[in-house]
Structure 1
Amino acid sequence: MFQTVIFDLDGVITDTADFHFKAWQALAKKLGIFLTEDFNEHLKGVDRTESLRRILSLGGLENDFSKEEIAVFEKEKNDLYITLIDQVNPKNILPGIDQLLNDLRSNNIKIGLASASRNAPKLLRNLGLYNHFDTIVDPSTLKNGKPAPETFETACQQLGVHSKYAIGIEDAYSGIQAINDSKMLSIGIGDLQTLKDADYILNSTSQLTFDKLLEIWNDKKNKHTIPVKTD
């Protein structure tokens, strides 16, 4: 039986990808960089510093700014993002997540958050979900963000649970890599091709139920070499 479920935030508990995109797009425009929604896919699951590096690289400006200037850009983006997420409320919880969190707690399963977002606690409070979580990893304390496994490994350590008894849930390729490398069971939410390395893939969070997690866990002994897409 699994002992913990570790969640990503954006795209799994709520969807703030558009807020991130608008904030990054505004900063990129100021720097003379045109940021498309397609390129934004490369920023999902990636922390703020790495996202900015990729944006600057897109514009050929990766080596044009000092560390101090980079810090100012990061703060500018984050300030705008915080303004945008102030409107987030419990209505923005993705389908099925509220019930799943309640069922996990009822079954004494520990719940963790492994997000690259330093604003995760604020978002959880806005959603009314903060008290559901037994631990929240602070990404600013990590040496290596996703796709490195440290975020998910740290969540397990903070909960006192070995990763082999943990399930990780993600919607981004970098997150699935991190879960797999931490030796947890990985569940992807979304596109089959993007998340092809996940152990199991579900179409949406509405399919994330406690019974479904039990079914997936019990089938772990017969793990498929090709990801299972559950309709």
Structure 2
Amino acid sequence: MSKIKACIFDLDGVLVDTAVYHYKAWKRLANEMGFDFTEHQNEQLKGVSRMASLELVLGWGNITGKTEEEKEELATRKNNWYVEMINQMTPDEILNGAQEFVQSCRNAGLKTAIGSASKNTPLILAKLQLATLFDAVVDGNSVSKAKPDPEVFLKGAEDLGVAPADCVVFEDAVAGVQAAKNGGMKAVGIGSPELLNQADVVVSGLDKITVAELENL
């Protein structure tokens, strides 16, 4: 192996695709406030924190004058709908090859962690029965700065006891790839090569990369 000693995974869009649930919940909120919400707009919320997402949604709907308290109430309402949906999730929703790839990283002696903005990370990992595959979990409950700030990944590296330069991050969002780079880590993009052009390599999913290929990063 190269000096890669740890793999840090974003959750949404890398191990599981919860974007459809976010979309349905934001759309319901927008519709209740009298405007529509598109899948294209939902894409722009990838990797963005809940309150920052709400600000974008309110902006798209030209909704102004909301107090901080009202914003908290709106974000909570959206999240409650989202949680209702993810409570129905099963391990069948794990993305192709994701569980196998994480296991192969562990089999190769690499440490593994989750680095996600989602405050619902523990619930999702429990529903997918994936929690035991990770040595550390850093999520929106334990960090305050949103990607592209590298805080979530730097804390993951710290919790694993591995230097940032010895970590590779797996991300599907532009802000997430930027966060990995800002933290001095390698980045594997999951998705579009055009969109994730700052990543060291881009694949369509974790079923399209092997642990051996990490040596070449």
Partner Cα separation in structure 1 for residue 142 and residue 68 of structure 2: 19
Worse overlay, 111-120 or 196-205: 196-205
Shift of 1:144: 1.2
Could you tell me how far 1:206 is from its partner in structure 2? 1.3
Q: How far 1:14 moved relative to its partner?
A: 0.5
Aligned residue pair count? 215
Whole-Å separation in 2 of the counterparts to 1:174 and 1:192: 14
Q: What displacement does 1:185 show?
A: 0.4
User: Does residue 174 of structure 1 match 2:167?
Assistant: no
- Specify the SS of the correspondent of 2:141: helix
Q: Runs of at least 4 residues of structure 1 off by over 4 A?
A: none
Shift of 1:140: 3.0
Alpha-carbon distance, 1:158 to partner: 1.2
Aligned to 1:13: 15
1:121-174 CA deviation, whole Å, 9 max, x = no partner? 110111110111111113233231111111111111111111000000001111
Equivalences for residues 36-185 of structure 1 within 5 A: 36-61=38-63, 63-185=64-186
Q: Which has the higher contact order (CA 8 A, sep 6+)?
A: 2
SS of 1:146's partner is coil
Q: CA deviation digits over 1:191-225, x for unaligned, max 9?
A: 11111111111122211322232xxx3x33xxxxx
> Quick check: 1:96–1:208 contact (8 Å CA) kept in 2?
no
Secondary structure of the 1:139 match is coil
How does the TM-score come out when normalised to structure 1? 0.89
> How large is the Cα RMSD of the aligned pairs?
1.2
**Which deviates further from its counterpart, 12-21 or 30-39?**
30-39
Paired with 1:33 and 1:54, the residues of 2 have a C-alpha distance of 13
Give the unaligned 5+ runs of structure 1: 221-231
CA distance in 2, matches of 1:118, 1:143: 11
Identity of aligned residues (%): 36
